[in-house]
Structure formats: structure tokens, C-alpha cells
Structure 1
Amino acid sequence: MSPVLVSRPSLSLHPSQGVSLGDTVTLRCHLPQMAAWVRLYKEGRWIHSHYKYKEQDTADFSFLSTYREHTGTYWCRYRVPWSAVESEKSDPVELVLTGEGTGDSRWLCLLPTGPCPTS
């Protein structure tokens, strides 16, 4: 039996910049094929799963009101419905929040695009 090849997902943030404490932010895992389970990880630890009931090419994980604890590095992976094979993890996305008491710059940065603007 040949191994099952599972394409790598990608992860993006919406909105992609200017997210302040208390704002809503969505981490969207883009799937190259139908998946049964999509998992979101923060700092290397699994934090949430989303089961796909119908064919969609994305899985959304939203924070309705962001807190300082949401700052960090996220990635996603998925498992296809007919196999126990999991995908590779997506490239990481860094969520940086701005606002009172954060001490951060005014931007939300996506890795691996580079450092945050300092202005």
C-alpha cells in the first residue's frame, strides 16, 4: 500500500493589521482538500479543533474579543476523513495586539514576512 500524501495547509489572520485589544480577529486555515478535523495550535500546543461537516476550503477560528493572552505564534494542521494521516503544520502566523498596556507597535505581523514596522 502506498503512503497517503496530504498537502500542507496555510494560515492567515483577518484583519491582517491594526488589531487592538478587544477587537475580533479570525485565524483562517486554508485547506488544499476536504478535511474532517482541523486543529489550531498556539506556541506548539493544540488549543482547538474544528470538525468540517461539509466541503469547504477553510476553517475559521475566531476570538470575538482579543486579550493579551491571545498574543503568540499559531499554526494549523488537518486530518483527512478517510485516513488517520495528518497534514504537515502550516507556516506560523504571529498575532501581535496593540492597545493600552501592551507596549507593542501599532501593527499585526505575519511570519515569515519579516519584522513588525517600528513607526
Structure 2
Amino acid sequence: MSDQHSTDDVWAPDACTLPTVERPLRLAEFDRFFVDAVRGVERLSAGHLRLRLDGSGQVEATARDLTAREATCCSFFSFDLSRSGPDSLTLDVRVPAGHVDVLDALAGRATSVRGER
């Protein structure tokens, strides 16, 4: 991706406490998650993104682990994982107004990575 560096910079703002050396690894984890688990991306508002996920137990476990770790280093994220049916999960991602650009980058990444599969 030619714009990867600019997307990474937006997605990992100064408020992120994840060590810089670990950021490419976390980005790769999210990319794999987007490809393997995300079935749809919907922007409900400027500060609210909804990801529709495959409903398997492994996807749920991965989503819980990944979002828990991300919320630890980027405390401005709010993640809510819920079962929207027997075979599907919904992951709502919210950010305050000051971090909408980070949510923009996350939504763009989810959409573009899914499109590459």
C-alpha cells in the first residue's frame, strides 16, 4: 500500500501508548482480523463505526483479545462486542470527537484490506 505510512501515523496518534516498535505487529493483527472476520463495515456517525463479523467462537475470542489490548494502549477507543444473531457478531467502535480522524483511518483500513482479499 502506498499510503500505509500516512494511515499508520493517523491510526497511532500521540495518545497511543503502544511502543512504536510494536505498532506494525498490531497493524498486521488488525489487517488479518479485517480479512478473516469482518463481513461488513458501516459508519453510523462521525464517532461510531460498526463492523459486522463472522459469528464463530474463534472470531469472538480474537475480537475480545484484540480490542482489549487496543483499548489498553489507546484508551480513547470504546469497543462493544455483541451477538447480533446465532451466526454473527457486531463490533461497535466509538471515539470522542477529538479522535474522529483515527476512526476514519480504522474504517478506511478495514474497507481497503477487505477489498484486497
TM-score bracket, shorter-length normalisation:
0.3 to 0.5
Structure exhibiting the larger radius of gyration computed from Cα positions? 1
Task: Return the TM-score normalized by structure 2.
Answer: 0.34
More strand by share: 1
More helix by share: 2
